[in-house]
Structure 1
Amino acid sequence: MPVVTVDWWKGNDRQKRADLVGELTATVARIAGCPADAVTVLVRDIEQDHWGRGGVLADAPAPVSVDRSPVLADVPHQGSAPR
């Protein structure tokens, strides 16, 4: 019946995997209307250097970004006169 595959970063311990499998199994069985023993959950631990997003490997240092959001004091509030 249902098979659920979870890819997540390596480093989660056995208890976290067991908790995940238990919770997913219960939820899928409830929604699918099948017995829990019909649900298979596959948990795959992926090294961060094997996981990319946005063209960058997950283990690469995050680029330093410059915050260009306006300072709240410079933004007129509704009902207040401009400064």
Structure 2
Amino acid sequence: MPIIQVEMLKGRTVEQKRAMAKKVTEALVETVGCKTEAVKIIIREMEFEDYAQGGVLHCDINK
């Protein structure tokens, strides 16, 4: 039973998350040979102030 955790910044629509879940599931079924219903995906969304890159909070980029 593969369990995939996806962490991303907030802002994606439900349709985008649905499409991502479908594609990730299809990739796992194809590559590891599991059943579709065995794939579990956890989506964790972060606020822009909870993510930094290069020492800069994402909420401070392009200010």
The two structures have a TM-score, normalised by structure 1, of 0.70
Distance 1:29 1:41 in 2: 13
Q: How does 1:16-27 map to 2 (within 5 A)?
A: 16-27=16-27
Give 1:62 shift: 3.8
Partner of 2:47: 47
TM-score (norm 2): 0.90
Q: How far apart are the structure 1 equivalents of 2:26 and 2:48?
A: 29
Tell me, yes or no, if structure 1 residue 58 matches structure 2 residue 58: yes
CA distance in 2, matches of 1:25, 1:14: 16
- Superposed structure 1 runs of 4+ greater than 3 Å apart: none
Give the match for residue 6 of structure 2. 6
- Give the Å deviation of 1:61: 2.9
Cα distance, 1:29 vs structure 2: 1.3
What secondary structure is seen at the aligned counterpart in 1 of 2:42?
A: strand
- Tell me the equivalent position of 1:29: 29
Compare CA radii of gyration and give the structure with the larger one. Answer: 1
Tell me the distance in 2 between the aligned counterparts of 1:13 and 1:60. 23
TM-superposed deviation, 1:10: 0.3
Q: More relative contact order in 1 or in 2 (CA 8 Å, sep 6+)?
A: 2
Distance 2:30 2:38 in 1: 11
Aligned-partner residue type, residue 29 of structure 2: A
